[in-house]
Amino acid sequence: MQGNILTIFGGSGFIASEIVYKLSKSFKEIRLLTRNTQACNHLKVIKNIQIHLYEPSNVSSYSMHVNESDIVINTVGILNESRKQSFHDIHFDFVRKIINKSKESSVKKFIQLSALNADESGLSKYLQSKGKADKYISSMSSTSFKTIIFRPSIVFGEKDSFFNRFKSLLKLLPVFPLACPNSMFSPIYVKDLTEFIKEASLTDKYDNTIQNITGPKDYKFIELINFILSTMKIKRLIIPLNYSLSKLQAFAFTYLPGNIFTLDNFKSLQVDNISTGGLKGTSSIEEFVPPYLNNKETKLDTYRKDSGR
């Protein structure tokens, strides 16, 4: 299926940008919906993109775009709640509204970025809200309105939050107490993920399914931290914390600014972020992470920063 109009919610995000790069040639028009158009300036070089400001709580700010779309992809998500935004509001209520709108319009396919271990009765509010949305989305599937839910493990790539965040923290801290050091992850390269999203958009291969997506290899959290250190060629004292100390750290950090690590994050980490079945990317962290973790700022980055991009 060669598409006409693709609409993406959460336009300024890491995965949304990569979806645009991967799918721009497959659609006549891509409509990127964002709360912050400036944060999407880097995508303006793409000819068939339209960047639109919208207000998530106001259906009329996006209904026209959904009405005219063939496919809608939702990448909106948060890792931490705040006074202004709850997991339930962002991961469930908002999704319910946009999928209802999509189904009553002429949208043929709705693709959702969920998360591995999403489960209505999961341990954390993050996983519960994602699971509740997935259940609602699946209940909307039909032969004329296809839904596909992707549940990735952590996603890596040049602008990822995982490796870049720990790089910054490790640079700063000579001693690093690490919560949940044995939690498992199966990092998936963002370009592998978007290849599956492309296939899901253009074929019927994954219609009305839920797909776990992981990478070629599973790692303990502490192995990933050691990999970052060896990539950066720096030494730090890593102190692996046991269950009780990990929980204590999460409890203390929950009340500190910056959302470094919360009790809800701690609860999510009690279930390994790996999958034996499902879709597997082939790109390894060993091949793709070092070039961007070690990258000195390029001239282009400097220009972008100077121009507020």
Residues that bind ligand NAP (CB under 6 A): 10-16, 34-36, 39, 56, 75-78, 85, 90, 113, 115, 152, 154-155, 162
Contact between 121 and 136 under an 8 Å Cβ cutoff? The reply is: no
| Tokens at 302, concatenated | 């400097």
Nearer of residues 83 and 299 to ligand NAP, judged by Cβ: 83
Q: Closest separation between CB of residue 88 and ligand NAP, Å?
A: 12
Residue 84 or 299: the one with the smaller Cβ distance to ligand NAP is 84
Please answer whether residues 246 and 180 qualify as being in contact, where contact means their C-beta atoms are separated by less than 8 angstroms.
yes
Could you tell me the smallest distance in angstroms from the CB atom of residue 283 to ligand NAP? 14
Q: How far is CA 242 from CA 97, 134, 176, 179, 181, in A?
A: 41, 32, 14, 7, 8
CB of 16 to ligand NAP, least distance (A): 6
Q: Which residue has the tokens 């469930």?
A: 92
- DSSP E strands: which ranges in the chain? 3-9, 27-34, 49-53, 71-74, 109-113, 146-152, 155-156, 175-178, 184-185, 188-189, 209-214, 219-220, 237-240, 279-280
Cα gap 96→298, rounded to integer Å: 41
Closest to ligand NAP by CB, 75 or 249: 75
Output b/e per residue, 209-225; b: 16+ Cβ within 10 A.
ebbbbbbeebbbbeebb
Report the residue number, 107 or 127, with the smaller CB distance to ligand NAP: 127
Q: C-beta of 220: minimal distance to ligand NAP in Å?
A: 17
- The nearer residue to ligand NAP, 248 or 284, going by C-beta atoms, is 284
Tell me the closest approach of the beta carbon of residue 246 to ligand NAP, in angstroms.
20
C-beta closer to ligand NAP: residue 70 or 160: 160
Minimum Å distance from CB 151 to ligand NAP? Answer: 7
